[in-house]
Amino acid sequence: MAISNSSNPQSNTSQSVYSSNQDSTHINLDVSLDGYDYHLPPEFIAQNPAVPRDSSRLLVVDSLDTGIKSIPSHHVFRDLSVILRPQDLLVMNDTKVIPARLYGRKSTGAQVEVLLLEEKHVDCWLALVKPGKRFKKGSEIIFETKRENSQQNCKKLVATVLETDEATGGRLLQFDVPAGMSLIQLLEDFGEVPLPPYISASEAESGQYQTVYAQNPGAVAAPTAGLHFTPELLEKLEEKGINRTFVTLHVGVGTFRPVEVEDVTTHEMHGEWIEIPAETVEKIRETKAKGGRIIAVGTTAVRALEGAAKAGEAELQPFCGETDLFIYPGYEWKVVDGLITNFHLPRSSLLMLVSALIGRERLLNIYQEAIKSQYRFYSFGDAMLILPEAVSG
């Protein structure tokens, strides 16, 4: 069953940054941005993925309120087939990263860099443009194919600025695409897969920033918890009776946009498109009926499942649309029992989501244990598995 409030050390937390007692006013760090800060030495930021993928390390912790000093256990990711139980269900995000970074020029010849964020209408994309201050409504950006032998027989693209997006500082770009084609079809010839800015010295190929089960193009960043899976590990999990099913959340600005307000309860998530198929809903219901656990692979799978449950008024139903759900301590879980996740940036909404599962202070202590044990952090780093009960080392 889903994690209840009784097992969540933060479930009774007041939803205000400032709480008054008889003598003074103190800051509630669970809903304060400063409460999610920690120091990570730069050498622990992974620049390249583990090879093979499932040789990455795995830190296993329980989600129960067993105290801040509860000791994690250390494993290798391929141990997942031994740690999980038959009839557990892994819920994976099958989004596929698109070559969302493009380099073009203005009509004057000045160079321009564009990062696509999300498609708003047909071939009309919200994008970050650098430098962007001078790109007013009606400005054009010209892109030329990176390949000499373009399979799509399209050598040039033109995008026109329709408006400025105040929330992101980006631009709404309308691409002039040949009839019968879409921009996504052309991106292999014009764009490249964007890596996060903290990965600055990587030798990884673009395919290594893609899960082995990616199917639906549309993400501008990978659901990185899924990068650890190999076809061999998936086969072994299936042999053990550990099932899997899929949701889709096209990772975009909502996932990686920084939290900039001190009172995190006032942070507004940018909506992201999700799809929960009827088959997935049925598998989740069957799993829960048989006593299996719902293990989300990544925070994006969490947001998709819990976002769909929110749309269904606390009951998971098939869903296709946007979610702007923001999960932080005090959240009442509807679907998810456990989580596979990477180690996240300080002061990020992702760190807050994981804190909602096991508690902010305890999570920061676990992160310190991971640093002490020299785990690798962020997108190409190691993983953490959070279960409703502890796993011995």
Average pLDDT estimate for 265-293: 95
Confidence label for 6 from pLDDT (cuts 50, 70 and 90): very low
In this prediction, residue 372 carries a pLDDT of: 97
- Residues above pLDDT 90, as percent of the chain: 76
Instruction: Tell me whether residue 142 is in a domain.
Output: yes
Instruction: Tell me whether residue 198 is in a domain.
Output: no
With beta carbons less than 8 A apart as the criterion, state whether 388 and 338 touch.
Answer: yes
Residues 225 and 341 in one domain: yes
Instruction: Tell me whether residue 361 is in a domain.
Output: yes
Residues 92 and 132 in one domain: no
Instruction: Tell me whether residue 200 is in a domain.
Output: no
Residues 285 and 375 in one domain: yes
In this prediction, residue 169 carries a pLDDT of: 86
Domain boundary among 166, 192, 218: 192
User: Residue 109 carries which side chain, given as an amino acid letter?
Assistant: G
Q: Taking all residues of the chain, what is their mean pLDDT, rounded to a whole number?
A: 89
What digits encode the pLDDT tens for the residues 282-335? 999 999 999 999 999 999 999 999 999 999 988 999 999 999 999 999 999 999
Instruction: Tell me whether residue 393 is in a domain.
Output: no
Residues 369 and 222 in one domain: yes
How far apart are the C-alpha atoms of 273 and 119, rounded to whole Å? 10
Lowest mean pLDDT among 7-16, 94-103, 207-216, 278-287: 7-16
pTM of the model: 0.89
Which CATH number characterizes residue 143's domain? 2.40.10.240
Residues 17 and 45 in one domain: yes
Burial of 303 (0-12, 13-18, 19+ CB in 10 A): buried
Backbone dihedral region of 297: left (phi > 0), alpha (psi from -120 to 50 degrees) or beta? beta
Residues 90 and 119 in one domain: no
Counting the structural domains of the chain, the total is: 2
Rounded to 5°, the CA angle 344-347-348 comes to: 55
With beta carbons less than 8 A apart as the criterion, state whether 191 and 101 touch.
Answer: yes
Pick the more confident residue, 335 or 258: 335
Residues 169 and 295 in one domain: no
Residues 87 and 232 in one domain: yes
What digits encode the pLDDT tens for the residues 162-214? 999 988 889 999 999 998 899 999 999 999 999 999 999 999 999 999 999 99
CA distances from 360 to 111, 241, 389 (A): 44, 33, 18
Lowest mean pLDDT among 149-153, 157-161, 346-350: 149-153
With beta carbons less than 8 A apart as the criterion, state whether 316 and 309 touch.
Answer: yes
Residues 341 and 374 in one domain: yes
Confidence label for 118 from pLDDT (cuts 50, 70 and 90): confident
What digits encode the pLDDT tens for the residues 339-391? 999 999 999 999 999 999 999 999 999 999 999 999 999 999 999 999 987 54
Instruction: Tell me whether residue 177 is in a domain.
Output: yes
368 φ/ψ angles, rounded to the nearest 5 degrees: -65, -35
Domain boundary among 137, 157, 192: 192
Instruction: Tell me whether residue 199 is in a domain.
Output: no
Residues 87 and 234 in one domain: yes
Helix (H, G, I), strand (E, B) or coil at 325: coil
Residues 237 and 277 in one domain: yes
| Domain limits for position 127 | 101-192
In this prediction, residue 9 carries a pLDDT of: 38
User: Residue 72 carries which side chain, given as an amino acid letter?
Assistant: P
| Token pair listed for 310 | 């929110």
DSSP tag of 337: S
Which CATH number characterizes residue 288's domain? 3.40.1780.10
> Can you name the residues that pair with 59 across neighbouring β-strands?
74, 384
Residues 242 and 177 in one domain: no
Instruction: Tell me whether residue 41 is in a domain.
Output: yes
